[in-house]
């Protein structure tokens, strides 16, 4: 599609950007770390550049690193130069740098939180942020309780009533490593914060295409009437990564693909694709609709795990023509590790809309390419007219929704081949591509944190429902002596994944 015309419609936002964003201070725990360097600071810079930050806004990094305001600003500038969506501009940087401050302290020392409070009060007066604040936990999960107790003990958490300045806390996924630990973390957070103050962040939900899924379904009359078991044969959701475990080996050895990707990213996307229309676009209405989907997922038995769940681990191979080592040869990985770097599974949603429609999920590292997409396979046309020949069956219609890297969607339809005396059909693809540069996921999510919009953030009950669904898989794997299925780096995963979907008479889509 060569050109697109857009009509801008705002839902639930002020026409004046700065009226929509209240004064605020962002306090980044672990602000001198990798997440801050690669994602948070570049995202905040881009929001500043686009005029999407409050006029009265400050950024305070809190960490044990030996830095001061000047050295932290140099740290931030290097991250922006390397990772920002937009180029660093000197005049914009000068303005943004004035917002950046650093406070050195320990996450475990109560006295440091008392000193942090004094520094925040000083910056609050300087930046006129009205004591509104959000605390971003860019720290390992083990420090979440220390940080929560520290800011609470220092009197930095205000009640969630509308008459008080707001306090919000941002927690990175994964929330726990199983159902029990997720419940424990949520219980701990509830001691210090109201649920309305907790923003459980999954950056995948901030991607433009994921956000557009609900618009695609509920703002277009041509899709919703056919979005059900009556017309859809099956759905495939794929998140493929060409990269290996890289520098995240220490984390990955305790997580694996099921915890890292399926529990959060894939199940959240599934819940948006399969949800009923929410009552409104308000956060809790949307999250209620998504929760209903997760609660309707059919329980997995031990036999189901053996038959319909495949775990794999990459061996050495070639990825994009470059030699790649095996997972067990990566630094900081155990030489007999059973951690999965690939997962494929089939699941069912037992409700009226989706009864009988299988959903196939897969994700893995060291696959041939980086690509994330949703493929909606529609049922075949009847075996008459153009589909009457049993030896040349027509390919079913399909819609693919590309999440990354080439954001957009495609419709795969049948069409007549021009010319010739005989009628010949061939599949054609109608493509839509986002022509403008979309905001990065963290930009969208940070903006929503400032405005207090929790629509794209995971609620406690949704997190625990997802773990409840996946817990039987973790339990079965834990009790099993079986090794993950080995697949060559640069392939599309272990053979068993292809055999699993083939048992249903289907095949994985080649991305």
Residues annotated as part of the active site: 265
End-to-end CA distance of the chain: 20
Q: What is the rounded distance in angstroms from the CA atom of residue 335 to the CA atom of residue 315? A: 12
Residue 249 CB partners (closer than 8 Å, separation 6+): 330, 331, 332, 333
* DSSP designation for 390: T
Partners of 8 in the β-ladder: none
* DSSP designation for 107: T
CB count within 10 Å of CB 469 equals 21
Is the link from the previous residue into 331 a cis peptide, with omega within 30 of 0?
A: no
Residue 355 CB partners (closer than 8 Å, separation 6+): 229, 349
Q: What is the rounded distance in angstroms from the CA atom of residue 48 to the CA atom of residue 57? A: 10
Residue written as tokens 């070639």? 318
Q: How far is CA 138 from CA 36, 124, 144, 171, in A?
A: 7, 22, 9, 8
Is the link from the previous residue into 493 a cis peptide, with omega within 30 of 0?
A: no
CB count within 10 Å of CB 172 equals 18
Q: What is the rounded distance in angstroms from the CA atom of residue 455 to the CA atom of residue 284? A: 7
The secondary element (H helix, E strand) that includes residue 398 is strand 398-404
The beta-strand segments (E) located in 131-229 are 133-137, 167-172, 198-201
* Pairing verdict, β 398-404 and 371-378: antiparallel
338 contacts 483 by C-beta, under 8 angstroms? yes
* DSSP designation for 261: I
Query: Residue 420: which region, alpha, beta or left (left: phi > 0; alpha: psi -120 to 50)?
Result: left
Based on DSSP, count helices (H) and strands (E) in the chain, helices before strands. 17, 17
Residue 227 CB partners (closer than 8 Å, separation 6+): 217, 353
Q: Considering only CA atoms, give the Rg of the chain.
A: 24
């Amino acid at each position: 599609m060569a050109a697109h015309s857009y009509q801008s419609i705002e839902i639930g936002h002020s026409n004046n950007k700065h009226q929509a964003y209240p004064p605020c201070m962002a306090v980044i725990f672990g602000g001198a770390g990798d997440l801050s360097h690669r994602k948070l600071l570049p995202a905040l810079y881009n929001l500043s550049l686009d005029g999407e930050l409050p006029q009265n806004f400050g950024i305070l990094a809190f960490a044990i690193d030996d830095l001061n305001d000047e050295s932290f600003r140099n740290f931030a500038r290097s991250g922006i130069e390397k990772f920002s969506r937009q180029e660093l501009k000197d005049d914009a940087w000068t303005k943004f740098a004035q917002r950046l401050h650093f406070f050195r302290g320990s996450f475990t020392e109560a006295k440091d939180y008392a000193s942090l409070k004094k520094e925040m009060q000083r910056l609050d007066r300087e930046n006129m942020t009205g004591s509104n604040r959000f605390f971003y936990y860019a720290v390992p999960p083990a420090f979440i309780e220390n940080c929560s107790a520290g800011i609470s003990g220092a009197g930095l958490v205000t009640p969630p009533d509308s008459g008080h300045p707001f306090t919000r806390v941002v927690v990175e996924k994964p929330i726990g490593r199983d159902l029990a630990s997720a419940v424990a973390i949520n219980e701990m957070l509830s001691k210090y914060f109201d649920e309305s103050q907790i923003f459980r962040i999954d950056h995948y939900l901030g991607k433009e295409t994921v956000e557009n899924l609900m618009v695609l379904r509920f703002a277009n009359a041509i899709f919703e009437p056919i979005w059900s078991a009556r017309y859809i044969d099956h759905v495939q959701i794929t998140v493929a990564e060409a990269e290996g475990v890289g520098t995240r080996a220490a984390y990955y050895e305790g997580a694996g693909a099921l915890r890292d990707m399926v529990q959060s990213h894939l199940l959240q996307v599934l819940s948006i694709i399969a949800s009923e229309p929410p009552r409104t676009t308000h956060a809790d209405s949307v999250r209620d609709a998504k929760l209903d989907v997760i609660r309707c997922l059919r329980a997995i038995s031990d036999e189901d795990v053996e038959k319909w769940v495949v775990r794999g681990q990459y061996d050495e191979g070639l990825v994009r023509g470059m030699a790649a080592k095996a997972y067990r040869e990566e630094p900081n990985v155990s030489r007999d590790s059973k951690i999965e770097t690939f997962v494929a599974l089939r699941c069912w949603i037992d409700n009226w809309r989706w009864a009988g429609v299988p959903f196939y999920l897969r994700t893995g590292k060291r696959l041939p390419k980086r690509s994330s997409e949703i493929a909606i396979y529609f049922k075949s046309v009847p075996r008459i007219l153009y589909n009457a020949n049993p030896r040349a069956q027509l390919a079913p219609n399909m819609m693919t929704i590309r999440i990354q890297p080439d954001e957009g969607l495609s419709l795969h339809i049948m069409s007549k081949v021009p010319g010739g005396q005989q009628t010949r059909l061939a599949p054609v693809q109608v493509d839509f591509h986002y022509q403008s540069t979309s905001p990065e996921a963290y930009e969208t999510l940070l903006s929503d944190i400032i405005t207090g919009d929790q629509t794209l953030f995971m609620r406690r009950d949704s997190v625990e429902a997802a773990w409840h669904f996946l817990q039987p898989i973790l339990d079965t794997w834990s009790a099993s002596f079986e090794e993950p299925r080995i697949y060559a780096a640069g392939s599309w995963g272990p053979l068993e994944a292809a055999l699993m979907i083939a048992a249903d008479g289907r095949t994985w889509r080649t991305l």
